[in-house]
Amino acid sequence: TSAQIGVTGLAVMGRNLARNFARNGYAVALHNRTASRTHALVEEFGSEGDFIATETAKEFVAALERPRRLVIMVKAGEPTDAVIQEFAPLLESGDMIIDGGNAHFADTRRRERELRDQGIHFVGAGISGGEEGALHGPSIMPGGSPESYASLGPMLEKISAKAADEAPCVSHVGPDGAGHFVKMVHNGIEYADMQLIGEAYQLLRDVAGYSPAQIADIFRTWNTGRLDSYLIEITAEVLSHVDAATGKPFVDVVQDQAEQKGTGRWTVQIALDLGVPVSGIAEAVFARSLSGHKELRDASRSLAGPKATPLGESEAAAFADQVEQALYASKIVSYTQGFHEIAAGSAEYDWNIDLGAVSSLWRGGCIIRAAFLDRIRAAYDTRPDLPSLLSDDTFAQEIGAAQDDWRAVLAAAVHQGVPTPGFAAALAYYDALRAERLPAALTQGQRDFFGAHTYRRTDREGSFHTLWGGDRSEVAG
């Protein structure tokens, strides 16, 4: 027999993805640099489906039906290039290589271009959902040629997560690096979501005076409303967990230094290149790096500042409701910024990405899955060329209704000295968009003063320069 799909790279992700394909009725060829992993998979899970274990690259390729579909699930970066170099010479025109790792989209663009000459379809596919998702149904963001999606799409739709309306959480995102770009922004949004939830927790703890267990209950309640999402759900689980060794809340025995693998950072780096203000995502990335600077924090603990005094019971409950408003409003801003980055990437690289379809495929399987994404899809369904999520009537109304509480929460945070960079950046973005005039006019004046960079006027076309060192008359720039 020959396999309909092959997976090389059988660490936790590849192994679970291979099992997912097999459980859905596909014959799966298996390969890993170290053959012991391949055999271990067959020994442990061989009864789950039709696996073909292979040891060499040649055997692996020979086990695949044509056109071949070969999934690479190895460490991103050089290992991915090494594996491509190993397999590409063994493939033929029309075959497909699917890279399911967390590749940088620029690498995906390069690989796609290099393999295109050989007639090989290179599909950079973002996969989200961690190991559980890989096994039970991830959210999949494939880029690459339409032909490759015609062949692969039905299989990916089968193994992917399904949204509440049963729609598969996968669709063809766009050419070459589009899939990995969207996966990158997904992770950036994930960082922002997590930071905002963290700030809400800190406020409920320090300002409202709730215990982790009480805050877990509050998050459980929120999870039945508009904030219904995987991240809110697991937050409640983490907060209600008690450390077995000490009997303390788990969250109090974990070191408060957050780590990161890099996709959040890429989201911000690329946003800087594209000129897209993703301030909420940037603050989330910076908050993680700040937390990691132990030496800086140890040296700064004695700096002056207010000490938060917890509220009374009824005030605390009212404050919790306000925090929910602040969290929701800030979340709308993060997604607005993330979708702006996708739109900008799509324009820059001619990807023609359907933003509604992206929000749709994030509704299940991935880390940011949430009821909220249905509303984003609805916004883009109503108006596919929506310039910003904040220009959607429903979101505009909701954020408008939340803004009083949002400001009150930030005022309390500032007053009591609780750091809330995510909430604050989101509100500053909102207020900047609303502003009649921004101080950018003054910035232009300064730039013209020290560097003759010129400026445009509100009342006339053209560019102008003021002779700052002379008689301060205005000349054409």
Answer yes or no whether residue 85 interacts with ligand NDP by CB under 6 A. no
Helix, strand, coil shares of the chain as percentages rounded to 5?
Answer: 55, 10, 30
Residue closer to ligand NDP by CB (options 33, 220) is 33
For residue 314, the one-letter residue type is S
State which residue, 135 or 216, has the beta carbon closest to ligand NDP.
Answer: 135
Of 181-210, which residues contact ligand NDP (CB under 6 A)?
A: none
Q: Which DSSP string corresponds to 365-413?
A: SSTT-BTHHHHHHHHHHH-TT-S-GGGSHHHHHHHHHHHHHHHHHHHHH
Whose Cβ is closer to ligand NDP: residue 79's or residue 153's? 79
Check whether 261 is labelled as a binding-site residue. Answer: yes
Considering only 58, 66, 75, 293, the residue that binds ligand NDP (CB under 6 A) is 75
Other CB atoms within 10 Å distance of the CB of residue 345: 24
Determine which residue in the list 20, 32, 139, 336 makes contact with ligand NDP, applying CB under 6 A.
32
Q: Which of 59, 65, 157, 183 is catalytic?
A: 183
d(CA 1, CA 279): 53
Q: Give which of 420, 381, 279, 399 is closest to 338, Cα–Cα.
A: 279
When the beta carbons of 17 and 232 are compared against ligand NDP, the nearer one is 17
Q: How far apart are CA 289 and CA 415, in angstroms?
A: 24
Shortest spacing between CB 167 and ligand NDP, in angstroms: 21
Question: Which range binds ligand NDP by CB under 6 A, 33-41, 312-320, 330-338, 424-432?
Answer: 33-41
Tokens, residue 459: 């009342």
Minimum CB separation of residue 377 from ligand NDP in Å reads 23
Work out the widest C-alpha separation in the chain, in whole angstroms: 87
Contact 475, 464 (CB under 8 A): yes
Q: In angstroms, how far is the first alpha carbon of the chain from the final one?
A: 73
Residue 83 sits in the site that holds ligand NDP (CB under 6 A):
yes
Is 457 labeled as ligand-binding? no
Collapsing DSSP states into helix, strand and coil, what is residue 151? helix
Question: To which residue do tokens 């509704």 refer?
Answer: 363
Residue count, binding to ligand NDP (CB under 6 A):
22
Q: Cβ atoms within 10 A of the Cβ of 340, count? A: 21
- Binds ligand NDP (CB under 6 A): choice among 7, 13, 227, 370: 13
Q: Is residue 82 near ligand NDP by the rule CB under 6 A?
A: yes
Nearer CB in complex with ligand NDP: 73/390: 73
Residues forming a β-bridge with 3:
64
Nearer to ligand NDP, 76 or 284 (CB): 76
Is residue 183 flagged as an active site residue? yes
Q: What does 270-307 look like in DSSP terms, one character per residue? A: HHHHHT---HHHHHHHHHHHHHH-HHHHHHHTTS----
Binding mask 447-476 for ligand NDP (x = CB under 6 A): ------------------------------
Query: Residue with the closest Cβ to ligand NDP?
Result: 101
Token pair 């996969």 in the structure block, residue: 127
Report how far residue 1's alpha carbon sits from residue 89's, in angstroms, rounded to the nearest whole number: 23
Shortest reach from residue 345's CB to ligand NDP, in Å: 20
Instruction: Decide if 58 is catalytic.
Output: no
The closest alpha carbon to 31, from 56, 11, 51, 13, belongs to 56
Is residue 447 annotated as involved in ligand binding? yes
Stretch that binds ligand NDP, among 7-15, 229-237, 302-310, 418-426 (CB under 6 A): 7-15
33 binds ligand NDP (CB under 6 A): yes
**Cβ nearer to ligand NDP, comparing 11 with 378:** 11
- If binding is defined by CB under 6 A, does position 56 make contact with ligand NDP? no
Helices and strands (H and E) in the chain: how many: 20, 10
φ, ψ of residue 51 to 5 degrees: the values are -110, 140
Number of Cβ within 10 Å of residue 315's Cβ equals 13
Query: Is 91 annotated as ligand-binding?
Result: no
Annotated ligand binding at 82? The verdict is: no
Q: Is the dihedral angle over the CA atoms 215, 217, 221, 223 positive or is it negative?
A: positive
- Written as six digits, the tokens of 364 are 């299940």
Q: Which residues pair with 124 in a beta bridge?
A: 99
Out of 112, 131, 190, 398, the active site residue is: 190
Give, as ranges, the residues between 227 and 286 that touch ligand NDP (CB under 6 A): none
Binding mask 90-129 for ligand NDP (x = CB under 6 A): -----------xx------------------------x--
User: Among all residues, which ones are annotated catalytic?
Assistant: 183, 190
Interacting residues toward ligand NDP by CB under 6 A: 9-14, 32-34, 37, 73-76, 79, 82-83, 101-102, 127, 130-131
Residues annotated within the binding site are 9-14, 32-34, 74-76, 102, 128-130, 186-187, 191, 261, 288, 447, 453
Annotated binding site for substrate: 102, 128-130, 186-187, 191, 261, 288, 447, 453
